[in-house]
Amino acid sequence: MNIQEIRKIMEEEGGKIIVPGEDSPTLIIMTLDDYRKGKEIKHQNKKDAPPRGLEKESLTIEDLPFN
């Protein structure tokens, strides 16, 4: 199987081709568009998530700006 055959399968079927290794996958082949979409989704999720230190911190009455 050559690279052109792999590209044709990817275009027709979509998805990914995962090459297994001994303990975990050693190679994942996907289209560049799928890769970019995945990166875009991760980037969006990072923007929406609160900073790590703030996600467990709760506010109290002392945090209000009363003088």
What one-letter code names the amino acid at 7? Answer: R
Q: What is the pTM of this model?
A: 0.41
The set of residues, in sequence order, having a beta carbon less than 8 Å from that of 28 and lying 6+ positions away, is 16, 17, 18, 19
Q: What are the pLDDT digits (tens) for 7-55?
A: 777 777 777 777 888 887 778 888 888 888 888 877 777 666 666 665 6
**Structural domains in the chain (count):** 1
Is 58 inside any structural domain? no
Residue 57 lies in a domain: no
Domain of residue 43 covers 3-49
Residue 31 token pair: 């289209």
**Is position 62 within any domain?**
no
The answer as to whether 28 is a domain residue is yes
Q: Would 32 be classed as within a structural domain?
A: yes
